[in-house]
Structure 1
């Protein structure tokens, strides 16, 4: 008698009728040299076994997650091997981190695939081993002055064989199996003047959808767009233009289950726009508004959104510490939009307070009904009443002194011999963080 049992995975479902439960709160490793550290971006490994944070202190850190999360994730796979703990929670880098991306097939149970690419300022693109942080390969981008250029956006193609890197006015394409310098792919002159701040590939394997979108940090004008569609077959020649939003592109993403729907967020814009690339791409089909009213965001910080694996829900944070969840299926039409069809605005299906600082990144778990959120932003004190007393000191000097300090002082008055007080800063002001926690939310 055959007693073999098989495990069937079912897509995660999200209960948005009530706020999610806080399942776990993770903290970053302490850094004495950078006490105001916070996570800028958090991303799950593609199999959901570990989560990696890109931190302000120029390091990558693995998050401490509940052991039962890993156990349940592994139980949903067949014959999962024994997981070996990571050697270190922190992977320091030599410079500020601009972007990072997991290898699409990465899993700690396959050492060869367990890796990610990182873009570090003034350095080649690095392929790092996710187990111990060692360098596997590097991919150089060198400009005409022989300077190392670090891309601001990274994307793998559909087959995960090529890496696309966006930087100032161009996209560099690398074959992962051939480290070194890759072919230089120039894009249209309408985007050459701006930094390529966002790249995303269409998730369909259909040859008719072998497309990727690129967005520029330079705001679009009334006569041109800063989002272009490209095909791997045509190289650097755009096959289409998207949107007329006159703002800097922050993030682009296709719907995982509807590869014809593209979403985009912009700097200092509260809205997230969506376009149907089958129809008129200059008119958005839906606009997702986080907050009521027309108040603009006051921060230039990139607030990343994420879409769940089934393409049903989109989550995004704001600078007030709230997370908004939008229903992507409600009001969406499968028909190709007509030329005169107007866009529809959508409000959050659910909104809850998650942190006491800006929510810079959210990430849906690929297998379970979980959402990871990272909080933190740089704040500076305004006015002397909020400053640390040790940052300034009073120095009494004579106005008629022969010292060179007289020229640098901000003393007022013309009478000689008058004693004045000069305030000088002992050290540069450091930013502070209101909330640098990373939280795990359960939607079941």
Structure 2
């Protein structure tokens, strides 16, 4: 999320105040860089009055409605200090399939620089995850069994860090590096990497690296609990990793088709999570619905800059908000939860219906008590598929031609095969709700929406 920064009236920054006692309001307007299914970037502009700042509109450059890419977008991230007021920093990195990594100008979409990742077959590799380091001078890109590191001031090729000695080796971090996250601490050069490959009995799929030590992991994170013995992590693909902005020693992780979000404290025993955040409870439904965990879609969570609130969307369109500072002694145990140890389980302090489809991502505003949410997922409806077909084939139809011979026919007829043409329509995915909403948690202070 990008925003303009008001002139500082004092030297001490305080995090925004969120009122979680009432449901938020949803205004018309938002500001963000949004990835769409049609391989485009778009960013609706948030009204400046919503942020409580006065800006001369004539001084801001007009933003294009969309930035079209030649192939599907795998991942993207803003430059850490990007702002529309500073043209030099107003840029972002995009990973587009079968293309070099692009550094794009956010004002017009022009290419500023490109960073090439080439495999042993001289093919272009598009990473599945991209992240800037804390100093914003290096770009880290994760792909299969490796992380490529680029100096952003030197376009071209980078330095490859192998996360595993070889494909046959059981050591290291194996599989596609699906997510990268840097600890928000200038005194630390640690970053976390997770892979799509589920953790094996002998290794975890979350590793902690150091920029100074290179490709040798500092430690591996996560055990599933006493129920599975000395396990090495949640048996699922890692979807997202994020450090707490105010407490950088806390690492949070979400997994594919796993509803809870796990938290580890890197200062102590990293083989067991210190907290688990879940909505799977009979006493916490959303509009009479129970949280689903069947989607392979990434449902990205976010933590506010004060390190107090964690928000995440669900497959059913609901949005849950957790209080990270509240300690909950009671342990929630259900049939859908695989843990039986004493790890504290926190329930959301607020849940509300945000959209009518899966909430793919949420993001807190860095300066104001605002939460951005986007929704949309692929749905295939076979009921609309026509039983018959016309003589003219459309773009979304394919013809299957079957040539059959009748074995009981006379020998003279064997040379005349019967041609049967079957026309079938390709199923096109649809979305029940592709929308962007901005939620205000103003309460008694901050900006009311």
TM-score (norm 2): 0.80
What secondary structure is seen at the aligned counterpart in 2 of 1:257?
coil
Name the structure, 1 or 2, with higher relative contact order (CA <8 Å, separation 6+). Answer: 1
Asked if 1:66 is matched to 2:47, the reply is yes
Asked if 1:303 is matched to 2:302, the reply is no
Unaligned segments of structure 2, at least 5 residues: 1-6, 166-170, 223-232, 283-289, 330-340, 392-399, 414-419, 443-449
What does residue range 70-109 of structure 1 map to in structure 2 within 5 Å? 72-73=52-53, 83-109=59-85
How large is the Cα RMSD of the aligned pairs? 2.9
Q: Deviations over 1:12-65 (max 9, x none)?
A: 111111111112266xxxxxxxxxxxxxxxxxxxxxxx4110111001001143
Residues 408 and 112 (structure 1), Cα distance of their counterparts in 2 relative to 1, 3 Å cut = farther
Shift of 1:290: 2.5
Cα separation, 2, equivalents of 1:172 and 1:306: 25
Give the equivalent residue in structure 2 for 1:29. Answer: none
Shift of 1:424: 2.4
Cα separation, 2, equivalents of 1:133 and 1:58: 13
Asked if 1:7 is matched to 2:9, the reply is yes
Shift of 1:184: 1.1
Shift of 1:422: 7.6
Q: Deviations over 1:293-323 (max 9, x none)?
A: 6976111000000000101000000100000
Asked if 1:194 is matched to 2:178, the reply is no
Unaligned segments of structure 1, at least 5 residues: 27-49, 334-340, 396-403
Cα separation, 2, equivalents of 1:254 and 1:6: 27
What secondary structure is seen at the aligned counterpart in 1 of 2:258?
coil
Shift of 1:393: 1.6
Cα separation, 2, equivalents of 1:322 and 1:352: 6
Give the equivalent residue in structure 2 for 1:160. Answer: 136
Residues 144 and 331 (structure 1), Cα distance of their counterparts in 2 relative to 1, 3 Å cut = same
Give the equivalent residue in structure 2 for 1:230. Answer: 209
What does residue range 20-419 of structure 1 map to in structure 2 within 5 Å? 20-24=24-28, 50-69=31-50, 72-73=52-53, 83-189=59-165, 190-191=171-172, 193-206=174-187, 209-243=188-222, 244-292=233-281, 297-331=293-327, 342-382=342-382, 386-389=383-386, 392-393=388-389, 405=401, 407=403
Q: Deviations over 1:230-263 (max 9, x none)?
A: 1111000001010111110000000000010000
Cα separation, 2, equivalents of 1:25 and 1:298: 31
Aligned pair count reads 385
Residues 388 and 112 (structure 1), Cα distance of their counterparts in 2 relative to 1, 3 Å cut = same
Q: Deviations over 1:109-131 (max 9, x none)?
A: 11111100000000000000010
